[in-house]
């Protein structure tokens, strides 16, 4: 689905030289909240990267409910991208690297679900604790540089529940 520009998401359509304002919706309210945090003109559209530990019981259900909530509230303002990680693989990698002294290398760009420049976040498999659920906002600033901000993260063994979604 094509992403709308910031003005379209805000409910402003230009008809010739006349701009017509539509009633505010949830997307406009969220846009105003983001403007208050990041400042105006911070991005035309963004990407939300939702990292979820797919082999932790209950996490996929929470992640799918979160996706529905994000789509309902933010609509086309952001693209929601899922990144699946596995606790079992993380444990094996950390055991092997600890026993043999292997170095966990950088992310391979071709294997990423979306481009995340170095310095914005540490690969989940390189961390001391794997995130069971994490939401990362990515956007391009006025200089076309990708920026990012972690909005929510929970590390293993903690696991958010469906009941906690309204507070996320």
- Note the pLDDT tens digit of each residue in 7-57: 444 444 444 444 445 556 666 676 677 777 666 666 566 889 999 999 999
pLDDT value at residue 88: 87
Structure tokens at 119: 């310095």
pLDDT value at residue 15: 41
**Between 154 and 142, residue with greater pLDDT:** 154
**Helix/strand/coil for 115:** coil
Specify whether the backbone of 53 is left (phi greater than 0), alpha (psi in -120 to 50) or beta.
Answer: beta
pTM: 0.69
Distance CA 67, CA 73 (A): 10
Distance CA 16, CA 12 (A): 13
As a whole number, the mean pLDDT across the chain is 76
pLDDT value at residue 102: 55
With vertex at residue 29, the alpha carbon angle to CA 27 and CA 35, rounded to the nearest 5 degrees, is: 100
């Amino acid at each position: 689905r094509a992403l709308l520009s910031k003005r379209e998401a805000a409910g402003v359509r230009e008809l010739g030289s006349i701009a017509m304002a539509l009633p505010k919706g949830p997307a406009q309210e969220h846009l105003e909240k983001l403007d208050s945090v990041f400042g105006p003109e911070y991005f035309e559209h963004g990407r939300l990267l939702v990292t979820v530990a797919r082999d932790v019981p209950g996490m996929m259900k929470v992640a799918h409910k979160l996706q529905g909530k994000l789509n309902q509230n933010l609509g086309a303002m952001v693209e929601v991208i899922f990144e699946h990680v596995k606790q079992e693989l993380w444990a094996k990698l950390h055991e092997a690297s600890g026993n043999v002294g292997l170095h966990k290398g950088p992310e391979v760009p071709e294997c990423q679900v979306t481009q995340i420049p170095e310095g914005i976040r540490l690969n989940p498999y390189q961390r001391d604790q794997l995130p069971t659920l994490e939401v990362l906002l990515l956007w391009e600033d006025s200089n076309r540089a990708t920026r990012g901000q972690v909005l929510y993260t929970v590390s293993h063994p903690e696991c958010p529940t469906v009941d906690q979604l309204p507070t996320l």
